[in-house]
Amino acid sequence: MPKDAGPSEGSARQRSMAGVAGTLCVAVLSAGGFLAAAAPPPAAAADSTTTSSGSPAPVYEVKTGQVHGLGKVLVDGQGFTLYVFAPDKRSGSSKCYGRCAAAWPPLVLPSGVHKAPAGPGVRSSLLGTTKRRDGTVEVTYHKWPLYTWVVDSAPGDATGQDLNNLGGKWYVITPAGQLITKHV
């Protein structure tokens, strides 16, 4: 996303490209042996993607959503499932760069924003940030850097759950800050 693009412009562009990128990513990663075979779970409704004032939630907002077979988990402002990368080891810093960050985009704050808004059910005290190598600021929860997965095409998708991909396992995280490690 260009530096001057606002959250709604960037998120729309990011999500419209996600389907194409996701398809390409699956094909490329599968051919390279990096993507474990996993059938996507049925999509479930995420909580509303608007704020109490009726305006769209910023993509970097952290809120809760329901995912079939996993229950209530953290999602971004557009309702897309958020993941943690096991090699990050709740260290407060990311180990996902390059190809990893292309497939698992970090949840980053726009320039000038210092903290992600906490949606209903999210513990504001567990929200934090970490600086990435490129200077962008990534959102953390209970010291876990947060990511989305380009293969998820709709709110409620969790196709990256328990996936061993690009150097480690990926899991969803609960509003209490606990990882869900079961396979769906």
pLDDT one-digit tens code per residue, 53-92: 667 889 999 999 999 999 999 999 999 999 999 999 999 9
- Dist CA 80 CA 101 (whole Å): 16
Considering the domain boundaries, does residue 1 fall inside one?
A: no
Query: What pairs with residue 72 in β-bridges?
Result: 66
- How many structural domains compose the chain? 1
- Res. 182 pLDDT band, cuts 50 70 90: very high
Domain that includes residue 55, residue range = 7-180
- Dist CA 43 CA 89 (whole Å): 28
Selection from 76, 73, 135, 12 nearest residue 1 by Cα:
12
Q: Strand 137-141 vs strand 108-109: parallel, antiparallel, or unpaired?
A: antiparallel
pLDDT digits (tens, 9 = 90+) for 115-166: 999 999 999 999 999 999 999 999 999 999 999 999 999 999 999 999 999 9
Considering the domain boundaries, does residue 2 fall inside one?
A: no
Considering the domain boundaries, does residue 152 fall inside one?
A: yes
Residue type, 171: Y
This prediction's pTM? 0.75
Tokens representing 60 are: 């970097």
Considering the domain boundaries, does residue 77 fall inside one?
A: yes
pLDDT digits (tens, 9 = 90+) for 12-43: 334 444 443 443 444 334 333 344 333 333 33
Question: What does 5-72 look like in DSSP terms, one character per residue?
Answer: --HHHHHHHHHHHHHHHHHHHHHHHHHTT-SPP-PPPPP-PBSPSB-TTSSBPPTT-BEEEEETTTEE
Considering the domain boundaries, does residue 32 fall inside one?
A: yes
